[in-house]
């Protein structure tokens, strides 16, 4: 029997690391593990990342009315994939991101990918919709993949909700410190990462591993 | 539409008003059509990809062709394109993969050319220095020359 509500397993995954450390590759590897018929992507670097080509039939949108229309048409069970490209203006994007998350939560049963999470969150605060989604997303069947180059700038609500974490190399000491603390490992474990090496942690089992 | 989603329509309209560039009323009327919004989004994406390709050669392009300036350009261009019957969606749709490949391969090829040119110049400089060192006679010496002794 399919689990519903709070019986569902949490699936909040952080993929973090400096630019060029393999975050997108890791994300796409994880996304390819199973079919994801309902997907929403927050993609600030869409001209480069091109999520719209990764998900067949995905629609690129730049306003919230189109997001609402696409999600509304799909209903609670219909298939859809949409990619939202924000403006990269923090003030505008924070408000849009909050609503984007509220829409995801209202739609339920979907995969939400958030690129460059640090561009819409701060260590001490998060847009309302995002905070709500971090607290309640599991119960609504929303799985989240959050990506960022600057973990020290990502909000604690998300870090505190993680079910799994993939951390590539980080050059800034504050970021190393944040991730060491969040993953329960030493700063040296993070600081010593090079190339495409990464530390991974499954928070449900507590198992930590180093790749490769 | 689901009631929960309907309740978010007002907030969506407010945010869209902030997100949108500020076109003239005529442009606004044309751009408001969903098809035209996609057209503008694709044109803006195309301009950003092309400017990104040339950015390694001309770094100032990064500052000129920002997402905002490309959006503004696309918003202004779409009404003209509609008037002339031109479309970018067909072009980007048909050659999407090729454009994506070019966006990656172009800067890589340029960086390779720069790297190889620099390597060759370095190797030539080392070779020239070695040749000069071999040909140039030793003019000075730290040891004094031995006195010439007259033969008996």
pLDDT, tens digit, 9 for 90 and up, residues A122-165: 888 888 999 999 988 888 889 999 999 999 989 888 888 899 99
Model pLDDT, residue B119: 92
Kindly state the average pLDDT of the residues B15-34.
62
For residue B45, the chain A residues in CB contact (below 8 A) are 46-47, 60, 85
Q: Is the pLDDT of residue B3 over 50?
A: yes
Q: Is the pLDDT of residue A8 over 70?
A: no
Beta strand spans in A85-137 (E): 110-114
How far is it, in rounded angstroms, from Cα B95 to Cα B113? 26
Q: Is the pLDDT of residue A1 over 50?
A: no
- Please report the ipTM that was assigned to this predicted complex: 0.75
Identify the helix (H) or strand (E) that includes residue A74: helix A64-74
Q: Is the pLDDT of residue B150 over 60?
A: no
Q: Is the pLDDT of residue A167 over 90?
A: yes
For residue B38, the chain A residues in CB contact (below 8 A) are 60
CB-closest option in B6, B11, B19 to A63: B19
Identify the helix (H) or strand (E) that includes residue B100: helix B96-135
Q: How far is A83 from chain B (nearest CA, A)?
A: 12
Is B20 at the interface with chain A, CB within 8 A?
A: yes
Kindly state the average pLDDT of the residues A153-182.
91
According to DSSP, the residues that pair with A200 across neighbouring strands are A166, A209
pTM over cut 0.80? no
Model pLDDT, residue B143: 58
Per-window interface: A 93-152 vs B, CB < 8 A: 95-96, 99, 102-103, 106-107
More confident residue, A175 or B75: A175
For residue B11, the chain A residues in CB contact (below 8 A) are 64, 99, 102
Which one-letter DSSP state was computed for residue A107? H
Beta strand spans in A5-148 (E): 12-16, 38-42, 59-61, 80-84, 110-114, 142-148
A134 exposure class (CB count in 10 Å sphere: 0-12, 13-18, 19+): buried
CB-closest option in A50, A65, A72 to B16: A65
Residue B129, sorted as left (phi over 0), alpha (psi -120 to 50) or beta, turns out to be: alpha
Contact by Cβ (8 Å): A115, A42: yes
Pairing status of strand A59-61 against strand A38-42: unpaired
Contact by Cβ (8 Å): A152, A179: no
Which one-letter DSSP state was computed for residue B6? H
Q: Is the pLDDT of residue B138 over 80?
A: no
Model pLDDT, residue B34: 52
- Is the Cβ pair A65, B100 closer than 8 Å? no
Q: Is the peptide bond before A212 cis (omega within 30 degrees of 0)?
A: yes
Model pLDDT, residue A13: 94
Report the share of chain B in percent with pLDDT over 70.
68
- Is the Cβ pair B41, A75 closer than 8 Å? no
Tokens of B2: 């689901």
CB-closest option in B8, B37, B103 to A62: B37
pLDDT in tens, B60-115: 888 888 888 888 888 888 777 777 767 665 556 566 677 778 777 887 888 888 88
According to DSSP, the residues that pair with A39 across neighbouring strands are A81, A111
pLDDT in tens, A20-57: 888 988 999 999 888 899 999 999 988 888 899 888 88
Pairing status of strand A164-168 against strand A12-16: parallel
Tokens 């100032």 belong to B60
Kindly state the average pLDDT of the residues B125-152.
69
Is A10 at the interface with chain B, CB within 8 A?
A: no
Model pLDDT, residue A130: 93
Q: Is the pLDDT of residue B24 over 80?
A: no
According to DSSP, the residues that pair with A81 across neighbouring strands are A39
How far is it, in rounded angstroms, from Cα B51 to Cα B71? 13
pLDDT confidence bin for A4, thresholds 50/70/90: low
Report the share of chain A in percent with pLDDT over 90.
56
For residue B48, the chain A residues in CB contact (below 8 A) are 47
Mean pLDDT over the full length of chain A: 89
Model pLDDT, residue B31: 47
List the single best residue of A49, A64, A73 to mutate versus B (max B Cβ within 10 A): A64
List the single best residue of A47, A55, A73, A136 to mutate versus B (max B Cβ within 10 A): A47
Per-window interface: A 13-32 vs B, CB < 8 A: none
- Which of A131, A184, A186, A190 shows the shortest CA–CA distance to A161? A131
How far is it, in rounded angstroms, from Cα A177 to Cα A123? 13
Q: How far is A201 from chain B (nearest CA, A)?
A: 32
């Amino acid at each position: 029997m399919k689990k519903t509500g709070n019986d569902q397993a949490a699936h909040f995954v952080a993929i973090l690391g400096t630019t060029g450390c393999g975050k997108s590759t890791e994300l796409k590897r994880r996304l390819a593990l199973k079919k994801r018929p309902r997907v929403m992507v927050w993609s600030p670097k869409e001209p480069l990342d091109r999520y719209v080509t990764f998900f067949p039939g995905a629609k690129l949108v730049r306003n919230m009315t189109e997001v609402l229309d696409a999600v509304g048409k799909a209903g609670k069970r219909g298939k859809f994939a949409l990619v939202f490209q924000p403006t990269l203006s923090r003030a505008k994007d924070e408000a849009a991101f909050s609503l984007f998350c509220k829409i995801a939560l209202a739609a339920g049963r979907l995969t939400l990918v958030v690129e460059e999470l640090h561009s819409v969150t701060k260590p001490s605060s998060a847009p309302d919709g995002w905070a709500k989604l971090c607290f309640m997303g599991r119960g609504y069947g929303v799985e989240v993949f959050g990506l960022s180059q600057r973990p020290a700038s990502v909000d604690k609500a998300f870090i505190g909700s993680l079910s799994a974490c993939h951390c590539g190399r980080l050059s800034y000491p504050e970021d190393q410190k944040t991730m060491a603390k969040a993953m329960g490992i030493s700063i040296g474990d993070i600081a010593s990462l090079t190339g495409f090496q990464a530390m991974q942690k499954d928070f449900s089992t507590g198992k930590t591993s180093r790749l490769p | 539409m689901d009631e929960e989603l309907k309740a978010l329509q007002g907030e969506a309209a407010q945010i869209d008003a902030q997100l949108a560039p500020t076109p003239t009323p005529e442009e606004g009327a044309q751009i408001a059509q969903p098809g035209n919004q996609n057209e503008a989004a694709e044109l803006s994406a195309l301009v950003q990809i092309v400017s990104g390709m040339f950015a390694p050669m001309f770094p100032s392009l990064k500052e000129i062709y920002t997402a905002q300036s490309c959006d503004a350009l696309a918003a202004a261009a779409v009404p003209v394109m509609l008037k002339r019957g031109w479309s970018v969606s067909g072009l980007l749709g048909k050659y999407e993969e090729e454009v994506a490949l070019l966006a990656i391969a172009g800067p890589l090829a340029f960086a390779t050319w720069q790297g190889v040119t620099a390597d060759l110049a370095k190797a030539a400089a080392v070779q020239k220095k070695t040749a000069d060192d071999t040909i140039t006679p030793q003019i000075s010496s730290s040891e004094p020359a031995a006195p010439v002794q007259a033969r008996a």
